[in-house]
Amino acid sequence: YTDSIGNFFIKEGLDVWALGLSNAISGDIRLLAEEDLFTAIKFISSHKKEKVRIITHSMGGIIARILVSDQFVHPYSVNDVIEMINGITLLSAPNHGLKPPQFDKIKNFYSRMKIHFNFEPDILTSFPFSLNKAFFQLVSSSDLIKTLNAPKKCLNPRIRWQNGIGTKDNIVPVSSARFSHYELPEGLQFDQREFPCDHMV
C-alpha cells in the first residue's frame, strides 16, 4: 500500500523488512515469537550488521513481547535477542487480551475481506482450538496473557518501548491496549500515546 508505514519509512531512507504472520493465525503465538520472529530478527541483524527496530501491529505486539519476555523459558537467550534490537513499537496491540465481543468484530472484519474462520458462538467453551489456537491464546483469561502481564514484569525493562493506541479501534479497545503506570517496571523507557485511528492505524 502506498500509504503503509513501510513505505513511509522507505521514503525516509530507512531499510524496511516485513514479516507477515497474519496468515499464521492457526499457530501457537509462542512459536511465532520463538521461531518465526526470532529467526527473522537474527537474519536481519546478521545481514545488516545493525540493530533492528521492531514495529508491530495487533497480535504482532504480543508476539514481540513474548520474544523478549523473561516470563517464559525460551530456546534462546533473551539477552542475545536484546543485543540485536534497539526497541519495540506496539500499534493496536491487545496487550491485556480480548473478550468474546472483540472476536465477533474480528470475524466480521475478516469476512468483509473474504477471509473466513470457524468461530463458534461461545469462544470460551467451544472455540475450535486446533484451528485457531492463536486467537484462543489472545483471550484475556488465557494462561499466555496472564503470564505475559505479570505485575511489574509485563514489559522487559532492558528494551525501549512505544505503545500506540487507536481511540477509534473497534477490535482492540483502549482498555486492552493501554498500560497503566502501576503495571510497568521502574525505570522503563516507555512512551505511550493515543491516536484517533481505527485498528488498521
**166 forms bridges with which residues in the sheet?**
195
Instruction: Please report, in tens digits, the pLDDT of each residue of the chain (201 residues total).
Output: 567 788 888 888 888 888 877 555 557 899 899 999 999 999 999 998 899 999 999 999 999 999 999 999 999 999 999 999 999 999 999 999 988 766 666 666 656 655 444 444 444 444 443 336 777 888 898 999 999 999 899 999 999 999 999 999 988 999 999 999 899 999 999 999 999 999 876
pTM: 0.84
Residues 6+ apart with CB under 8 A from 33: 63, 64, 66, 67
What is the spatial order of strands in the sheet that 52-57 belongs to? 52-57, 85-91, 161-166, 190-195
Query: How many degrees, rounded to 5, is the angle at CA 42 between CA 37 and CA 46?
Result: 150
Cell 522487559: give the residue: 156
Match 483469561 to its residue by C-alpha cell: 141
Residue 31, H or E segment: helix 29-31
